[in-house]
Amino acid sequence: MTSLQDTKSIFKTKVLCFLVLFVFFIAGAESLFSQRKIYTVVLDAGHGGRDPGNLGSGFKEKDIALKVTLAVGKILSKNKDIRVVYTRTKDNFVELWKRGDIANDVKADLFVSFHCDSHTSQAYGLGTFVLGANGNKTNLEIAKRENSVILLEKDYKQNYDYDPNSPASIIGLSLLQEENLEQSLQLASLIQTQMVKKLKRHNREVKMGNFQVLRETIMPSVLVELGFLTNKKEGRYLNSRSGQQALAKTAAETIVTYVNQLKLNTVSQTNTRVVAPVNTDKTIKATSNITFKVQIASSKKNIETKSYNFKRLKNVERVKVGAYYKYYYGNTSDYSKIKTFLNEAKKVGYRSAFISAFKNGEKISVKEALKTP
Ligand SMILES: [Zn+2]
């Protein structure tokens, strides 16, 4: 038999439980809403160490690039939604592929490389580059000059399928950057128009060029040639503290504008639906609906999946996603096995390759896949 007293205390306990749950719910909801994305911006100061860059009219590109880059980073770091990562913070030599690796490793949202141009004439002005086939001879010369640092790197033949001195090797473009072309162009034109307008620089427009450092990254990436060191007047501006501060301030403001644009679009960037390809791997457990693959490339081009097209990797798989073809290597439900595939792909030269996970043929995050029993 339950007394009135008991009923009362049961009621009290129920109310208390409800209140506790309610508080947890509110707290949970709040943490859910306050979860904001931090955007990682990789800032790349061109050259460094034994590679001085161009020496213009007595000014050192590597020093100016570093000073501007660090000043941009300092301003960006004050923005609570932005994390800044540098490829170098002092006067040291960093290989071009390593700069890309740094950006890929931290899963950067964008990559901006700062340089200064040179020319035998008194040419001047500011130009921004995205990766693309070289439109004209001038762009080709700039790209060749910026890429020639490879020759200072040890084992460069092993690290790049590219010889800066051979025009033939300039034809094969990175497949990975193609996917980012639109966003890279968006960022480039924002930087170009803002910097030219606010700092009254001569407009050398947004152009495409085959810059090795841009070939190595898998996120929207641009390279800014801040001006010409060979032009005496512009060289002095670039070498001055006030010039560097002004360039850095405008560059940082523009990057913030771009990040704000990204924020508005975040929803559309998640979860691309991928059509399930035919599964040929016999080792996959019948019970598992999780598959791991290594994405080695992505392109608008439909490339035959013959091993000679993919640095001798066998059984490359092609999947069409929207306007793009994605190229995968390896297909297994075993995460440790896919890591072996990833190492293999990186070893043959797909240094930007990464692991993708699928659940019932639909792309999910690797983290999610690993949580699935
Ligand atoms: Zn340079």
Which two tokens mark 22? 């309610």
- Please name the residues in contact with 39: beta carbons below 8 A apart, sequence gap of 6 or more: 81, 82, 83, 109, 110, 259, 262, 263
> Is 39-267's fold the same as 290-371's?
no
- Please name the residues in contact with 270: beta carbons below 8 A apart, sequence gap of 6 or more: none
C-alpha span between 108 and 284 (Å, rounded): 32
Distance 113 CA to ligand 1 centre (A): 9
Contact indicator for 180, 215 with CB cutoff of 8 Å: no
Distance 154 CA to ligand 1 centre (A): 19
The per-residue pLDDT for 157 is 65
Distance 76 CA to ligand 1 centre (A): 22
Distance 90 CA to ligand 1 centre (A): 16
Distance 281 CA to ligand 1 centre (A): 46
Give the CATH fold of the 39-267 domain: Aminopeptidase (3.40.630)
Which two tokens mark 120? 């035998």
* Domain boundaries of the chain, sorted by first residue: 39-267, 290-371
- Over residues 322-346, the pLDDT tens digits come to 777 788 999 998 888 998 898 888 8
By the CB criterion, residues less than 5 angstroms from ion ligand 1 are 46, 53, 115, 146
The domain over range 290-371 is classified in CATH as 3.30.70.1070: yes
Residue with structure tokens 């100061």?
45
The pLDDT tens digits along the chain (373 residues) read 555 566 666 667 676 666 666 655 655 554 455 567 899 999 999 999 999 999 988 999 999 999 999 999 999 999 999 999 999 999 999 998 899 889 988 989 999 999 999 999 999 999 999 987 655 666 677 777 788 777 777 766 666 655 555 543 443 444 455 667 888 999 999 999 999 999 999 999 998 887 888 877 888 999 999 999 999 999 999 999 999 999 999 999 999 999 998 887 653 333 333 333 333 333 333 346 889 999 888 777 788 888 878 888 888 998 887 777 788 999 998 888 998 898 888 888 787 778 888 888 887 777 778 877 6
Distance 311 CA to ligand 1 centre (A): 30
Distance 62 CA to ligand 1 centre (A): 8
Distance 187 CA to ligand 1 centre (A): 19
